[in-house]
Amino acid sequence: MPKLERCLVGGTFDRFHQGHKELLESALDAAELVEVWITNDEMSASKSPILQSFEDRREAIIAWSDERITTHELEDSYGPAPFRKDCDGIVCTPETLSNCQSINEMRLKNGLLPLEIIEVQHSLDEAGGIISSSRIRAGLIDCDGKLWVHENQKNQTHHFHFGLDEELKKPNGELFTGPEDSPEVAMSSAMENLAPGSIIAVGDVCAATLLEMGVVADIAIIDGMTKRVELEQKVDTSKFDIMLEADNPAGQITPSLFMAVAAALHNDQTTCIEVKGEEDLAPIVIHLLAPLGTNVVYGQPNKGVVLRITTLESKEQCRTLLSKFEVRD
């Protein structure tokens, strides 16, 4: 079958992933030239507050593609397809098939031949779900369709070893400094730099400081200790809608902690997780499970507050860290 001359592909292309690659590879297999029409920032704004910019999305495609692909800005639902005379194909996925059929109806009204529609089935991830930008933004999978953490890992106890001590002592995120006896100074600076997602406070001092500032964290994880010394003044947990418990001895990441963090992330009420043991390693679990754009704040002893926003990079680092722990069922 001879190749088409010029094929059109439209989409948002946020967090350029394996499904996008297979879509464009199908277009390249079908046509000599492929035009990729990327929704502009105005069109995409309603999809997600953490959507990448048009330029970032376009740059990701350019970095992957070859000279047969050109990229263009899409300003409406149909783009140039209804009236272009020099195109003979269009690529879609099952949910955009009807849009392509509407385009062909418009072409016929405009006295043009219909485009050959090439429907490409969705790529599937490790869990059998669709590899999609929304699942990536939700924090479930990476751009290759791999899970950040598998169910069997959640059911194992991971033991810290001292070879990771230096790595974990470094502030992973942005450090906001302030006097130790006035933690609200550093916390106020951190709050000015939040991403659009929820706020998770790890540690009693962070949770209490936010409450004193009139902010109830979406999730607080506390253990009644600071610098491994029991606090005299406890966090006012009555401010939270839901209380959960997790058993997590010092130096461990347990199934109980995974379960509690997952439960807190999947409800829309403020939640406090009271850890019996220690919560120091909780940020690893949070970043692995949380959606992109989640704000994780925790104290840095004698320095201030660290804010780390959940990104693909933070998830990758935490996945690598967890793999270095000793596993015991």
pLDDT the model gives residue 102: 97
Using an 8 Å Cβ cutoff, are 318 and 284 in contact? yes
pLDDT number for residue 301: 85
pLDDT of residue 79: 94
Question: Distance (Å, rounded) from C-alpha 164 to C-alpha 161?
Answer: 6
Give the pLDDT of residue 218. 98
Q: What is the pLDDT of residue 224?
A: 87
Tell me the CATH architecture of domain 4-137. Answer: 3-Layer(aba) Sandwich (3.40)
**pLDDT score of 276:** 96
State the Cα–Cα distance between residues 159 and 152, nearest whole angstrom.
Answer: 15
- Dihedral sign from CA coordinates of 242, 247, 253, 259: negative
Residue ranges of the domains in the chain? 4-137, 151-328
pLDDT at position 46: 86
* pLDDT score for 47: 87
Who contacts 5 (Cβ-Cβ below 8 Å, separation ≥6)? 31, 32, 33, 86, 87, 88
| Cα separations in angstroms, 310 against 8, 137, 220, 248 | 34, 10, 16, 22
pLDDT < 70 regions, the chain: 1, 171, 226-232, 329
